[in-house]
């Protein structure tokens, strides 16, 4: 069995509300085991016999559409991949009071990012710092800036993304890697 984390983009936005129990049932109906959510229902941890993240992603997206009636974009990562994100330490030297350190997941890394990094998002103090693998790292400073990197990257890259606080990534690794 392999342990995965599915990051669901916009699962509980607007009129769409999915409780953790319903989400757990959907994942279990796919044959996944030891399904749980972390902090919010958009972070689902599960075990699967499959080893190919893209195949798992497609299965989850199709099942969510079938069960919920709307499309949910899914980003699947393994726990070792999340551990590598933490080990990368992309925010070294970026200590600022009240700052949020964010990881934006991309479905894949575009051949060219079409952005000179680091870059400050226009009309804000939010900064996109670096890219590595299929993730982009940014820092925001409160005042509603938390969603800026996601929206900015989606617009510039012409692809769906989802963003999580680095504390969420650390929390998942601490809780679930030790029990793998």
Region 16-43: what's the mean pLDDT? 93
User: Which pLDDT score is estimated for 175?
Assistant: 94
The whole-angstrom separation of Cα 144 and Cα 74 is: 24
Consecutive H or E run containing 172: helix 166-172
**β-bridge mates for residue 48, sequence order:** 2
Alpha carbon distances (Å) from 112 to 66, 102, 128: 34, 21, 16
pLDDT for 41-97, tens place per residue?
A: 799 999 999 887 889 999 999 999 999 999 999 999 999 999 999 999 999 888 778
pTM of the predicted protein model: 0.93
The answer on pLDDT for 109 being more than 90 is no
Kindly tell me the sign of the dihedral angle through the C-alpha atoms of 46, 47, 49, 51: positive
Region 24-34: what's the mean pLDDT? 97
């Amino acid at each position: 069995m392999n342990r995965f984390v599915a990051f669901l983009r916009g699962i509980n936005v607007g009129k769409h509300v999915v409780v953790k129990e319903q989400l757990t049932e959907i994942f279990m109906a796919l044959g996944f085991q030891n399904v749980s959510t972390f902090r919010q229902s958009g972070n689902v941890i599960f075990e699967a016999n499959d080893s190919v993240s893209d195949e798992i992603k497609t299965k989850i997206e199709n099942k969510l559409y079938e069960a919920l009636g709307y499309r949910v974009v899914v980003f699947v990562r393994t726990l070792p991949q999340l551990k590598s994100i933490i080990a990368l330490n992309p925010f070294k030297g970026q200590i600022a009071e009240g700052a949020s350190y964010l990881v934006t997941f991309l479905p894949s890394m575009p051949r060219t990012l079409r952005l000179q990094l680091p870059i400050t998002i226009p009309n804000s103090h939010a900064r996109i710092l670096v890219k590595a693998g299929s993730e982009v790292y940014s820092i925001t400073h409160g005042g509603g800036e938390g969603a800026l990197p996601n929206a900015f990257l989606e617009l510039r890259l012409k692809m769906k993304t989802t963003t999580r606080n680095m504390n969420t990534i650390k929390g998942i690794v601490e809780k679930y890697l030790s029990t793998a």
